């Protein structure tokens, strides 16, 4: 049985660009458009030519896409103008965009209040604007603004607006849930009604996530007869975002009820670029990717708990709704305090340590992990510390340098100008190959000062760490109890002061010029000590990975 074609329309560069804090450059837009084209999206809405210099520049020299159609966004003609004589429409047809999408009103209330023209005139505007685009040889689409609210208020009028577009030759009529308040069961019902009421109309859906249902609304519309789906990468968009095209693509391509019935422009091979494409947008926006994003999040296929993990490894479909590699993602096995042997083995494999399951050192490693997790360490976000810990147990990490002692001073006082200042200084005594060195550093806080001192002079290792950068620093206060149990009551100040209560976990992320990134962890009741551990691990990990020679040991 041949499949029906389902068209994907990306509006990351137009509606997504409306998001507060998002400010694409022309180059950003070109890069995103090219990535969407490689993925196999059918339409890439680049912006609104004439609305701002970036969008005009984008359409003046659109990227050469291999299959996706660059789409320009605009409005229906103004009241009182002919379509031929409308500057807005002329701006659109003046571009080379093969497809043009114009927004028009379909809610009687909006026509009365916002446009303040007779309702019949609005219908004429829609029809004439679409006809004009068609006459210029463009693929013509109507974005029916507020369609669902309009339909609920006055179904006959809302349908008449769609009929005007369809009658004028619109290639697509896109039903927009502009406020995002429509629920899936309503979308199902209303789209079905439109399909029945206007035979031959080709419908699209444009959903927003204000009730957390943008993806479900899009799916409901497709099942009811829509064949074009508009959305954005990662659900970018104002307020609560647009429909997340990444989630939709996963479902359209991998879920039998859709994949067996519909065909999109996305090949199996391109689908494996879904995760990198999603991450690219975050990279351009300089955001941390959402770890919990469906299909493409770092945690989307993460498994925790020993029993569970051995079940996953035995038969992934037990706990994974789709194979992670299909979307270019990967399974993650977490080390947790329920860590089983199979967790450890899987986790070692992740950091390229292959051990025979019968190797007796695995039990020692497991003990070490449990002991450390009991102390408050968490290796979930600290791969480099995990790898170092494992390789140390396996005797693979040489000694490089020794920190004999450190001292950190934080002082708040009035300076000579009677200004209140807080200063931080650190002194580190370190040995490299038996040579003792004294380093000092200052910073805006104790950890910062310690980091500066530690990296001021590491002798023969200095060249290895010159390009090391700290890119993130996180602190978490844990409340661990005495003995084997976690605390059973609020931690009183006595316990807090006695050092048996709160423990600090520090996570540090480091990077180097080659683009490597690694994370390390430190735990102590003392935040400075915890930070020191994570800083030292960050340096040792780089020395190990870059093959620095071993040191000769301490002088005494």
List the interface residues with a second copy, window 117-146 (CB under 8 A).
146
H helix intervals, 260-340: 268-271, 274-285, 306-314
SS3 520: strand
Q: How far apart are alpha carbons 397 and 551 in whole angstroms?
A: 11
Site for a second copy in 269-288 (CB under 8 A): 286-288
Closest among 217, 234, 235 to 226, alpha carbons compared: 217
**Residue 353 binds a second copy (CB under 8 A):** no
Site for a second copy in 382-411 (CB under 8 A): 403-411
Q: Which of 4, 5, 61, 323 binds a second copy (CB under 8 A)?
A: 61
Q: How far apart are alpha carbons 552 and 402 in whole angstroms?
A: 10
Residues constituting the chain: 556
Site for a second copy in 65-124 (CB under 8 A): 109-110, 113-114
Rounded to a whole number of angstroms, the CA Rg of the chain reads 30
Q: Which of 102, 123, 215, 390 binds a second copy (CB under 8 A)?
A: 215
Q: Which of 161, 176, 300, 539 binds a second copy (CB under 8 A)?
A: 300
**Residue 3 binds a second copy (CB under 8 A):** no
Site for a second copy in 226-245 (CB under 8 A): 235, 238-241, 244
Type and span of the H or E element at 317:
none
Decide whether 3 or 255 has the Cβ nearer to a second copy.
255
Token reading at 157: 């009028």
Q: Which of 213, 275, 278, 342 binds a second copy (CB under 8 A)?
A: 213
CA distances from 453 to 334, 378, 425, 440, 506 (A): 34, 27, 9, 5, 18
Site for a second copy in 144-183 (CB under 8 A): 146, 178-181, 183
Decide whether 172 or 532 has the Cβ nearer to a second copy.
532
Site for a second copy in 442-501 (CB under 8 A): 443-448, 451-452, 468-479, 481, 484-493, 496-499
Smallest distance from the beta carbon of 166 to a second copy, in angstroms?
26
Give residues with Cβ within 8 angstroms of 392, minimum separation 6.
none
Sole residue written with tokens 């005007």: 164
Decide whether 355 or 480 has the Cβ nearer to a second copy.
480
DSSP conformational letter for 244? B
Q: How far apart are alpha carbons 10 and 229 in whole angstroms?
A: 8
Backbone angles phi, psi at 169, to 5 degrees: 100, 20
User: How many residues of this chain bind a second copy (CB under 8 A)?
Assistant: 138
CA distances from 200 to 157, 222, 227, 424 (A): 19, 15, 12, 73
**Residue 436 binds a second copy (CB under 8 A):** no
Site for a second copy in 416-435 (CB under 8 A): 422, 424
Site for a second copy in 497-536 (CB under 8 A): 497-499, 502, 504, 509, 511, 524-529, 532
Smallest distance from the beta carbon of 105 to a second copy, in angstroms?
11
């Amino acid at each position: 049985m041949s499949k029906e074609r389902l068209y994907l329309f990306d509006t990351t560069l137009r509606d997504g660009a409306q998001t507060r804090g998002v400010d694409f450059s022309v180059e950003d837009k070109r890069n995103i458009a090219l990535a969407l084209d490689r993925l196999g999206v059918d339409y890439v809405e680049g912006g609104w030519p004439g609305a701002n210099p970036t969008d005009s520049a984008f359409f003046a020299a659109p990227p050469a896409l291999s299959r996706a159609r660059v789409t320009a966004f605009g409005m229906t003609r103004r009241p009182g103008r002919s379509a031929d004589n409308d500057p807005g429409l002329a701006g659109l047809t003046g571009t080379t965009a093969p497809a043009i999408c114009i927004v028009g009103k379909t809610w009687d209330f909006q026509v009365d209040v916002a446009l303040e023209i007779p309702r019949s005139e609005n219908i004429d505007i829609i029809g004439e604007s679409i006809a004009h685009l068609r006459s210029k040889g463009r693929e013509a689409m109507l974005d029916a603004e507020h369609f669902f609210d309009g339909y609920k208020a006055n179904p006959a009028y809302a349908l008449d607006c769609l009929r005007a577009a369809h009658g004028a030759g619109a290639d697509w009529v896109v039903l927009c849930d502009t406020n995002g308040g429509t629920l899936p069961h309503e979308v199902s019902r209303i789209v079905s009604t439109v399909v029945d009421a206007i035979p031959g109309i080709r419908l699209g859906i444009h959903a927003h996530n204000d009730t957390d249902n943008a993806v479900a609304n899009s799916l409901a519309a497709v099942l009811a007869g829509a064949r074009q789906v508009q959305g954005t990468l990662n659900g970018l968009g104002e307020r609560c975002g647009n429909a997340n095209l990444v989630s939709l693509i996963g479902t359209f391509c991998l879920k039998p009820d859709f994949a067996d019935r519909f065909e999109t422009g996305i090949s199996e091979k391109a689908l494996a670029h879904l995760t990198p494409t999603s991450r690219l947008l975050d990279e351009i926006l300089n955001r941390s990717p959402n770890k919990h994003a469906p299909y493409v999040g770092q945690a989307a296929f993460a498994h925790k708990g020993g029993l569970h993990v051995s079940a996953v490894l035995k038969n992934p479909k037990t706990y994974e709704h789709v194979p992670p590699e299909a979307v270019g993602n990967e399974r993650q096995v977490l080390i947790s305090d329920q860590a089983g042997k199979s967790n450890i083995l899987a986790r070692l494999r992740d950091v390229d340590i292959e051990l025979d399951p019968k190797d007796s050192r695995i039990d020692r490693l497991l003990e070490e992990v449990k002991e450390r997790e009991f102390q408050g360490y968490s290796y979930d976000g600290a791969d480099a510390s995990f790898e170092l810990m494992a390789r140390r147990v396996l005797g693979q990490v040489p000694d490089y340098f020794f920190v004999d002692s450190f001292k950190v001073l934080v002082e708040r006082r009035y300076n000579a100008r009677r200004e209140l200042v807080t200063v931080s200084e650190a002194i580190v005594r370190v040995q490299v190959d038996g040579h003792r060195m004294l380093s000092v550093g200052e910073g805006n806080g104790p950890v910062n000062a310690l980091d500066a001192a530690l990296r001021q002079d590491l002798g023969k290792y200095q060249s290895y760490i010159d390009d090391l950068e700290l890119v993130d620093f996180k602190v978490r206060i844990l409340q661990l109890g005495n003995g084997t149990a976690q605390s059973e009551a609020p931690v009183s100040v006595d316990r807090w002061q006695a050092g048996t209560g709160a423990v600090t976990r520090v996570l540090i992320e480091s990077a180097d010029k080659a683009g490597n990134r690694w994370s390390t962890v430190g735990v102590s009741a003392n935040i400075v000590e915890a930070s020191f551990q994570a800083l030292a691990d960050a340096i040792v990990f780089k020395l190990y990975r870059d093959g620095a020679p071993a040191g000769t040991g301490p002088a005494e």
